[in-house]
Structure 1
Amino acid sequence: MSFIRNILNSRSQEDGNFFIQLKDILGFKPKSTAIYMTAFTHRSMNIKDDKGNPINYERLEFVGDAILGSVIAAYLFQKVPHGDEGYLTKMRSKVVSREHLNKLGEELGLINFVESKIPTSNFGNNIHGNLFEALVGAIYLDRGYRFCEKFVYKRVINPHVDIEALEGKVISYKGLLIEWCQKEKNTFNYEVYEDTGKDELKHFSVKLSINEKVVAKARATSKKKAEEKASKRAFFAFQKQITNHG
């Protein structure tokens, strides 16, 4: 860890408030700021340790994802004793959805700590959630599971987890629509079609057909987003049928 500290030490000298700001976010005093610096280091910095291994937040993101999932799973297990495995899995997915993690990372302003050779304005929205997961991973390596648990309760569970609200939250309209179609034996098809428009960024246009009839269209900056957008529109068009058979 001393090697990483030496490599990243220039940042702590340039930003003397890093430790203070970090402590405010964590709610406790970190033992080693080096691991947290790694949690905010983008791969574009191309920093490596003495064995040639890359130093950036991606591996911490992997650890944080696992720890965050385990804390949420344990909470739901205790909080909802009647919930079966399928229910608990869906509820955990809603809490740790990419959309929710992005909001958490954005609320904490984690992007302000990022060290990168790429302007932060060029990052997609997922950078916020990635940094949040990396931060959880850094907490685990620095202070252990119990401190991670306290942090997740403080920043995620206590202010944001409402069981009743989560039960009604849809995390994937596409998944919900496909599930309904399969139950009702309806055929469905997502088709990408040409629609360049006047946008500077490339957009994907999608037609959603159910039983060979186009029921929704949508445009977005990725095929996945366009499909989800079209699915959401179709969901509200068929909401009564879907809800009655949910």
Structure 2
Amino acid sequence: MFSNTTFENIEKNEDSILVRKLIKILGFCPKNTKFLKEVFIYSFSTKRKNLNPNYSVNFQRLEFLGDAVLNSIISHFLCEKLPEKKEGELTQIRSKIVCRRNLNEISRKLTIADIFLEKSVTSDNILGNTLEALIGFIYLEIGYQGCKNFVHQKILHSHVNITKLQNEIFSYKVWMIEWSQKNKFLINFKTFREKEDKDKNLIIYLSELTILGFEIQTKGRGSSKKKSEEMAAKEAYFLIQKKCKKILKH
């Protein structure tokens, strides 16, 4: 049998190990390790969070701050790196960098998942949110310049390929709308609930996309209207590419 003192020692040892992992990710030793531990370890421990709900509130506040600081740093970086790009193009590239999917992937590469005591909480979005909160913490600890150095070294220079991002499609639906406007085609989305399972709390949406005058109709399914429309637009995109190649051959 373990005594309460033994359990306390185990928890202290866990905290010490996880704080060291956080420091390794940060690249410096922060002054406020107590706050670091409370926000980034206790916020995701169900047992400890119940003792003090302010942990998760502080996490959300840091996430809010980190999101704003990250956008500011990346905007400055893109303006310097891509002086020929217009506002709309810069906005699109920045959106690709800070989109949830990309931040989740960067968090994974930075081994942020290793700091969680309970592995069941490490969903993709939690990883991206934690990265933003860490950036907020860094800003408070070492200021804007130190935070900028972190973002440049650990994110932009290590895990962001600007050339590749410029050629990636951020949203197939947005691409479809821009393509149809440019080529003077009308597109029409019809989206409705296809299936609903109340026991499993599951709803499946079906989207039908029609491109009038281009003889293309596609369907897409997803757990939300946005996802189903994106899937329909994605299928239409590949059909358009295939059709255009045939036209060029002839």
Q: Which of the five TM-score ranges fits, normalised by the shorter chain?
A: 0.7 to 0.9
Measured on the aligned residues, the alpha-carbon RMSD in Å equals 3.1
Change (3 A) 1:221 1:106: farther
Partner of 2:7: none
Gaps of at least 5 residues in structure 2 are 1-9, 246-250
Partner of 1:205: 206
Matches within 5 A, 1:73-92: 73-92=75-94
Partner of 1:55: 57
Q: Aligned letter for 2:18?
A: F
Partner of 1:145: 144
8 Å CA contact 2:185, 2:211 repeated in 1 = no
Gaps of at least 5 residues in structure 1 are 1-9
Matches within 5 A, 1:1-246: 14-37=14-37, 38-40=39-41, 41-42=43-44, 45=49, 47-48=52-53, 55-114=57-116, 119-120=120-121, 123=123, 125-183=124-182, 184-195=184-195, 202=202, 203-211=204-212, 215-239=217-241
8 Å CA contact 1:65, 1:137 repeated in 2 = yes
For residues 140 and 40 of structure 2, the distance between their equivalents in structure 1, rounded to whole angstroms, comes to 11
Q: Aligned letter for 2:121?
A: T
Alpha-carbon offset, residue 43 of structure 1: 10
For residues 154 and 242 of structure 1, the distance between their equivalents in structure 2, rounded to whole angstroms, comes to 41
Task: Give the number of the structure with larger relative contact order, counting CA–CA contacts within 8 Å between residues 6 or more apart.
Answer: 1
Q: Aligned letter for 2:95?
A: S
Q: Aligned letter for 1:186?
A: L
Alpha-carbon offset, residue 115 of structure 1: 6.2
8 Å CA contact 1:62, 1:134 repeated in 2 = yes
8 Å CA contact 2:189, 2:229 repeated in 1 = no
Q: TM-score with structure 2 length normalisation?
A: 0.77
For residues 83 and 132 of structure 2, the distance between their equivalents in structure 1, rounded to whole angstroms, comes to 27
Percent identity for Structure 1 against Structure 2: 36
8 Å CA contact 1:180, 1:242 repeated in 2 = no
For residue 208 of structure 1, give the secondary structure of its aligned residue in structure 2.
strand
For residue 229 of structure 1, give the secondary structure of its aligned residue in structure 2.
helix
For residue 219 of structure 2, give the secondary structure of its aligned residue in structure 1.
strand
Alpha-carbon offset, residue 195 of structure 1: 4.4
For residue 81 of structure 1, give the secondary structure of its aligned residue in structure 2.
coil
Structure with the bigger percentage of helix: 2
Alpha-carbon offset, residue 74 of structure 1: 1.1
Q: TM-score with structure 1 length normalisation?
A: 0.78
Q: Number of residue pairs matched?
A: 226
Alpha-carbon offset, residue 196 of structure 1: 6.1
For residues 70 and 136 of structure 1, the distance between their equivalents in structure 2, rounded to whole angstroms, comes to 12
- Of structures 1 and 2, the larger Rg is shown by 2
Change (3 A) 1:162 1:100: same
Q: Aligned letter for 1:107?
A: K
Change (3 A) 1:150 1:60: same
Alpha-carbon offset, residue 182 of structure 1: 3.3
8 Å CA contact 1:111, 1:120 repeated in 2 = no
For residue 205 of structure 1, give the secondary structure of its aligned residue in structure 2.
strand
Change (3 A) 1:172 1:11: farther
Q: Aligned letter for 1:90?
A: Q
For residues 244 and 173 of structure 2, the distance between their equivalents in structure 1, rounded to whole angstroms, comes to 12
Change (3 A) 1:91 1:242: farther
